[in-house]
Structure 1
Amino acid sequence: MTNGFKVIGLSVRTTNKDAQAMQDLGKLWGQFFAENVMEKIPNKASGEIYAIYTDYKSDYTEEYTTIIGVPVTTLNEVPEGLTGREFGPEQFQKFTAKGEMPAAVGNTWMEIWQKDKELNRKYTYDYEVYGAKSQQGANSEVAIFIATK
């Protein structure tokens, strides 16, 4: 069980159909770094970057919202143009993507989608945590948390 968290960042509505998410998320990550969004976020709870997948229309084959942001201690100040959201406590199964990014994360999601039914996914929200280990070339690691029933 994870206690939940608050996050501020950039968001986009996308879908995995026709590789749309790869395009949209590539752009979103590009914008996050190009616009130095990390520096604009007040009340950071950590230096980690979270990628959160939420507002699922049904499951991973339909539309969902992605937020790339940073966990914060309060949503009292959300800078203009950014999204602030609170995510409640959930039960998660953790996966670790290991290797060159972003390929390793993509490959881990492929494995998750193949096990979709047996994981008993809840589709409230899932998230990735990009910490210190996420920028280490072939030795990178990113944690992926999947909400389960």
Structure 2
Amino acid sequence: MDYEVVNIGGKTVEGIGIKTENKDGKAMRDIFPLWDDFFGSGKEEMIRGRVNTKYIGLYTDYEGDFTKPYSYLAGCETDGSGMPVFTVKKIRAGRYAKFVTKDPEKGLGEIWNAVWNMPLKRTYISDFEEYLPGKDGQPEEIHVYIGVEE
């Protein structure tokens, strides 16, 4: 699977989070309802200081590699101004392998399966998905950033 290595500046993300893991499909059972709650109860509209219209799924606080528990945050990038309403986490500045899909249904799973089977030298500090909304509000394109060693 194709990707490019890019340098990303640090980002601040505010949203709602959970602790999960990839074992036995637990992450899928946890993450989809988290997004449903985020949008279904209007939480995205409560976040102040948004810097763009994108949504971010942040993987952080890894307890090891991708087979161990980690934290996931569904949210938006903010400028850090104002009092946060929800959990705030940082995306570290650094090098990331960037993957892109225009097929939100299948593409995201294909990217993650490829990442798990690639010899990337991952940092396991922060990885994130950036959802670029289309005209109907649904993701038109998804960028997946995997933290890699310098």
TM-score, normalization by structure 2 = 0.88
Give the residue type in structure 2 aligned to 1:92: Y
Q: In the alignment, what sits opposite 2:109?
A: 106
- Give the one of 25, 29, 43 matched to 1:23: 29
CA deviations over 1:4-60 (Å, ceiling 9, x no partner): 111110101000001000000011011111111110001111111000100010011
Report how many residues are paired: 141
Tell me, in whole angstroms, the C-alpha distance in 1 between the residues paired with 2:25 and 2:9: 32
Q: Which residue of 1 is the match for residue 51 of structure 2? A: 45
- Could you tell me which amino acid in structure 2 is paired with residue 6 of structure 1? T
User: Which of 27, 40, 61 pairs up with 2:67?
Assistant: 61
State the shift of 1:97 in Å: 2.2
Alignment of 1:1-149 (within 5 A): 1-74=7-80, 76-79=82-85, 82-99=86-103, 101-115=104-118, 118-133=119-134, 135=138, 140-149=140-149
Query: Residue 125 of structure 1: SS of its match in structure 2?
Result: strand
- CA distance in 1 between counterparts of 2:39 and 2:110 reads 23
Name the amino acid aligned to 2:87: T
Post-superposition offset of 1:75: 5.2
Q: Give 5+ residue unaligned stretches, structure 2.
A: 1-6
The one-letter code of the counterpart of 1:50 is: I
1-structure distance, mates of 2:147, 2:64? 14
Cα RMSD, aligned residues only? 1.5
Secondary structure of the 1:65 match is: strand
Which residue identity does 2:47 align to in structure 1? I
Letter in structure 2 aligned against 1:127:
F
In structure 1, runs of 5+ residues without a counterpart are: none
| Percent identity over paired residues | 28
Residue pair 2:92, 2:125 contacting (<8 A) in 1 also? no
Instruction: Name whichever structure is richer in strand by fraction.
Output: 2
Alignment partner, residue 4 of structure 2: none
Give me the TM-score of the superposition, normalised by structure 1: 0.88
* Contact map agreement 2:92 2:126 (CA 8 A) in 1: no
